[in-house]
Amino acid sequence: METVEKKRSWSIPGSHFGGDPEFYSCWTLFDISNDGTSASENLEKIMAIASSRSQPILAGVEMIINQDVTNGLFGSKHTGNHNVWAYKWIVDKKGIMTEDTLNQEAHGLQLLTGLQETATVGKKIYTRGVNTNLFFVCHESL
């Protein structure tokens, strides 16, 4: 019987844990694997957006293989099954960043492509509209 791999994960060490944490994630069709390849450069750019506001205290990356993205979260241009990456992190204080500020700062930046992406994303980040290929979310918990 053939085993199908559905997810890969990478942990990123943090520093300390404060008293009023907030939980975030970045979902993307760009390869942001933390595996020492060129994809790590993409992850560093995404991490820099969050780190400019606060040091993540716990972070990690997951790669979901062959995820159905037809639900519209990535805009109507992207349909079918594709590799999806999620960078998740915790900050020690609520209110030091928002989904809107993170999405605004990322929109229009360029990342490397031609890695493990299965969706056609181009090099430019779109955080809204039909071409959405990356977005940030604030959560109650991870």
Q: 3-state secondary structure string, the chain? A: CCCCCCEEEEEECCCCCCCECEEEEEEECCCCCCCCCCHHHHHHHHHHHHHCCCCCCEEEEEEEEEEECCCCCCCCCCCCEEEEEEEEEEECECCCCCHHHHHHHHCCCECCCCCCCCCCCCCECCCCCCCCCEEEEEECCC
With cut-offs at 50, 70 and 90, classify the pLDDT of residue 54: confident
The fraction of the chain above a pLDDT of 90, given in percent, is 64
pLDDT of 70-126, one tens digit each? 988 898 999 999 999 999 999 888 888 999 999 999 999 999 999 999 999 999 999
Q: What is the CATH architecture assignment of 7-139?
A: 2-Layer Sandwich (3.30)
With cut-offs at 50, 70 and 90, classify the pLDDT of residue 140: confident
With cut-offs at 50, 70 and 90, classify the pLDDT of residue 2: low
- Give the mean pLDDT of the chain: 88
Q: Residue 62: what pLDDT?
A: 95
Mean pLDDT throughout 46-52? 91
- Domain edges within the chain: 7-139
Q: Residue 19: what pLDDT?
A: 66
